[in-house]
Amino acid sequence: MPSGHTGIFFRQGKGRLPIEEAFTSRVSDAFLDSAPAIMDRGRRVFLETMGRLLGC
């Protein structure tokens, strides 16, 4: 940020706004709520990519 502040920011949904700051003492705490969605997307993208590369 222009002021030099460092933080973790996130969005709910696909819209650009609102952007909120996560206040926590650990980075991992900021992502606990969205961890299942992140894992599901990672798994799906991995399987799609491997299928494409292997010609399945």
pLDDT of residue 47: 94
Kindly state the tokens that stand for 9: 């920011």
Asked whether 7 and 21 are in contact (CB, 8 A), the reply is yes
Q: What is the dihedral of CA 37, 24, 13, 52, to 10 degrees?
A: -40
3-state SS assignment for residue 21: strand
The residue ranges of every structural domain in the chain are 8-54
What average pLDDT is seen over the chain? 82
On the CB side of 38, CA atoms within 13 Å amount to: 7
Query: Model's pTM, two decimal places?
Result: 0.42
In the predicted model, residues of the chain with pLDDT beneath 50 are none
